Structure 1
């Protein structure tokens, strides 16, 4: 069995994070981390790839996300004091795994920060053509860095209202779309199944494009686990994780699958407008006045929400790694308000670098690169969570079964099935030309993280052995603990 996690003594005297987030804010944090440019912008690319069959990709990947989040909820509720799922990996698989998963997760969110900043800047440029995209991205980044640098309550308040706006907009979109599908909207007739079965059929390119679209879908769904990151600063962490995981998942599935179903039912999947902006395309098709500017404001709010959540999640993961001596000690430093500003600045640096790159490169070039370099990393994170759960559940059943108040369904069969499907999707992406570049990049980043974790673990063990063999230190009861 692995040695229990212990906090690095070098950080034991610093200010800790503050428990100030309420349950409502925690719920909106989970929603805010997942509904962003991936739904409003990236879904158009997925629809273009797979046609109406993209619904299968969203349903299957959504079900996998539900199961993975159930595993994560079980671990978080059973031992909430760890706070971050990289800690679970370190405890169950070894310090190398905790360091690898933590840095991969932080890397992913750092990339997402740049992705969302560019998406938001593009929308600002559409609303205000005189403002260049690089300047809009810089202003957006600076504003949200300032929000996150004050105190955690500021992050929670902004995230709550950002999420409320976009959830209200999606609900309105679903109601309008449902009315149009039923033929109840003024001036429209029900399309029936014409757009679902016509224009080449339900799966016009076969089922391989559906697998290819899974990369976009994974990128879109990733972020629900942010609630376990924020649990470290919640007023009631156990309750927040338990209720958040149970209530958020079905809402996200409704928003995603429901919204995509409305799009592919009302408009031909191969329409140019769908690829560019599926939500605007539907509203303009239904004759909704000022659809484009209104939807752009909503999408901008969603992007800001996801960017806000990304800054928070990546900075807290870096802080957690530093507390465990798996990152530079400076990243564990906090202000008097309990904000890890050095970790926040490092997390935002990739986004700022992306803004600079966007000044020299076309927006589409940067956007596509970020999508390819981060989507498969999300898949690796899901695999690591699943493996960690399989190991941790077996240990808890032996040592502390009472702690399992939230249990994964049909364990271990569903957990093993999730692992098999995740690996199958990864393998399918590896053999496909269009997604191979993303897989290669992901494996390269993962290999670097694993090697760094293994080296760190070996050095830590060597240092521990030297201290244990030193007669001057071995006599100290403090150092023997």
Structure 2
């Protein structure tokens, strides 16, 4: 009961999730989506928001029924077997490691503008070591730091929206007359047509990526059946609302021809109206945004590695016996340092090929969240919990799965993304092969009986809330014994 009182709150979990999602991919990467679709990118962001809601609804239903540490990896294992859980866990972990090492490189480039004498390698190493050590402080302390960094990002978006309204209304001294509306009226709404919207969906989903950390943090909450649904509702409302409003303001202020993939569209828009000094401010926001994303991602990486270790999918020494997965966090930090070194040593084209697989890994995980939910709910013949079932099932499940498959299939059609699809598929093949080889070399008597017993106990997600509470209490009691 004491741990329930000290668990992550609704607001803490919401800010941790927003801290993961709102990062450099939105402040800088959204320019790719805007160039592809023009003002109609708003449709892409609305579609992406619906997909996020459906994926989180499926994850919420499974999480409330069974709030295990491994989240979607465990649910995939319950639905499709140990092999599927092994593959999705390692594909997700590896893809996110590569993606976060590239984020460290991006921060290094930004910081070197102010400290040109220091090398990229030193900056990247210090950043990775810093976010790794901060994660060792635990979920509660990390959530406070993450809340502060997330607040900076959200306030920056809100400030941009306010400035955009002021500019559009023709107020202030930096411009004359209503600037935004006439410019918006002179632009084509869908310059790229339907294909432009389709081409922007991949980057749009990248800007939404990271919300799955909400499920990975479920075991850190005091009352998952209340906290998780409320945190999901807050996340979707804040995230989709701010994103769409900010993109609407951008589409009115900034012509598509002035959008550059090398400069944040927010900086370009404000500079166009005599507010060039915002470039320095936006760089500070970008640094805090990427650091916030890395902090929350390492949080999820440590929990994912602990889940893999608990099920016997890693060497035995990786198993943690404490609430904070120290070994999982440290191993993840070490892997990020190795990936950073890889990026500095190998030719840029090869590294970009590897890093782009991170996007595929996330979409792959989202697809399996939906597929696992569909199979587990079909197996039970009804909602996994009474009050938090996914709306519109099974039609919404089919729609979301088909949409994710379409986005993945469109990757080769977008310049620079075909390599990501190939690299991601190679990761799936690699870990599938490793699991098969591993299964053949191990004797049946050597199979982790603890992991097997745990899987049998949770092979069917509980339907009754009372059973879910009993499962959670059992896990807490087991953890207390280990301590």
Range with bigger deviation, 53-62 or 271-280 = 271-280
Matches within 5 A, 1:133-172: 133-172=120-159
Partner of 1:317: 304
Partner of 1:90: 77
Matches within 5 A, 1:72-471: 72-81=59-68, 83-186=70-173, 187-192=175-180, 195-196=183-184, 198=186, 201-271=188-258, 275-288=262-275, 290-334=277-321, 338-360=323-345, 368-369=352-353, 372-397=356-381, 401=383, 403-430=385-412, 434-454=416-436, 462-463=444-445
Offset from partner CA, 1:333-375 (integer Å, 9 cap, x none) = 256xx3322211221234213432454578x768844652211
What's the C-alpha RMSD, in Å, of the aligned pairs? 3.0
Q: Note closer, same or farther for the CA distance 1:318–1:430 as it changes in structure 2 (3 Å cut).
A: same
Alpha-carbon distance, 1:73 to partner = 0.7
Q: Note closer, same or farther for the CA distance 1:147–1:448 as it changes in structure 2 (3 Å cut).
A: same
Alpha-carbon distance, 1:145 to partner = 1.2
Q: Note closer, same or farther for the CA distance 1:466–1:229 as it changes in structure 2 (3 Å cut).
A: closer
**Structure 2 residues not aligned, in runs of 5+:** 450-483
Partner of 1:3: none
Question: TM-score when scaled to structure 1?
Answer: 0.84
Question: TM-score when scaled to structure 2?
Answer: 0.84
Query: Within 1, Cα distance between the matches of 2:78 and 2:105?
Result: 37
Offset from partner CA, 1:9-34 (integer Å, 9 cap, x none) = xxxxxxx9996433322111110110
- Structure 1 runs, 4 residues or longer, greater than 6 Å off: 16-19, 457-461, 464-467
Q: Note closer, same or farther for the CA distance 1:79–1:130 as it changes in structure 2 (3 Å cut).
A: same
Query: Within 2, Cα distance between the matches of 1:180 and 1:148?
Result: 41
**Structure 1 residues not aligned, in runs of 5+:** 1-15, 468-481
Alpha-carbon distance, 1:306 to partner = 0.0
Alpha-carbon distance, 1:304 to partner = 0.6
Q: SS of 1:325's equivalent?
A: coil
Q: SS of 2:210's equivalent?
A: coil
Q: Note closer, same or farther for the CA distance 1:328–1:132 as it changes in structure 2 (3 Å cut).
A: same
Query: Within 2, Cα distance between the matches of 1:369 and 1:439?
Result: 9
Aligned pairs, number: 446
CA contact (8 A) 1:33 1:306 kept: yes
Query: Within 2, Cα distance between the matches of 1:52 and 1:209?
Result: 10
Alpha-carbon distance, 1:377 to partner = 1.8
Q: Note closer, same or farther for the CA distance 1:402–1:347 as it changes in structure 2 (3 Å cut).
A: closer
Alpha-carbon distance, 1:389 to partner = 0.9
Query: Within 2, Cα distance between the matches of 1:86 and 1:466?
Result: 18
Q: Note closer, same or farther for the CA distance 1:352–1:318 as it changes in structure 2 (3 Å cut).
A: same
Query: Within 1, Cα distance between the matches of 2:16 and 2:354?
Result: 23
Q: Note closer, same or farther for the CA distance 1:173–1:275 as it changes in structure 2 (3 Å cut).
A: same
Q: SS of 2:207's equivalent?
A: helix
Partner of 2:475: none
Query: Within 2, Cα distance between the matches of 1:371 and 1:454?
Result: 26
Offset from partner CA, 1:26-74 (integer Å, 9 cap, x none) = 1111101100011111112222333323222222122111111111111
Offset from partner CA, 1:246-303 (integer Å, 9 cap, x none) = 1111211122222222222101122155751111122222333631111111111111
Query: Within 2, Cα distance between the matches of 1:348 and 1:465?
Result: 29
Q: Note closer, same or farther for the CA distance 1:325–1:299 as it changes in structure 2 (3 Å cut).
A: same
Alpha-carbon distance, 1:211 to partner = 2.4
Is 1:29 equivalent to 2:52 in the alignment? Answer: no
Q: Note closer, same or farther for the CA distance 1:42–1:120 as it changes in structure 2 (3 Å cut).
A: same
CA contact (8 A) 1:357 1:366 kept: no
Query: Within 1, Cα distance between the matches of 2:119 and 2:87?
Result: 37
Alpha-carbon distance, 1:124 to partner = 1.0
Q: Note closer, same or farther for the CA distance 1:369–1:349 as it changes in structure 2 (3 Å cut).
A: farther
Query: Within 2, Cα distance between the matches of 1:465 and 1:55?
Result: 51
Partner of 1:10: none
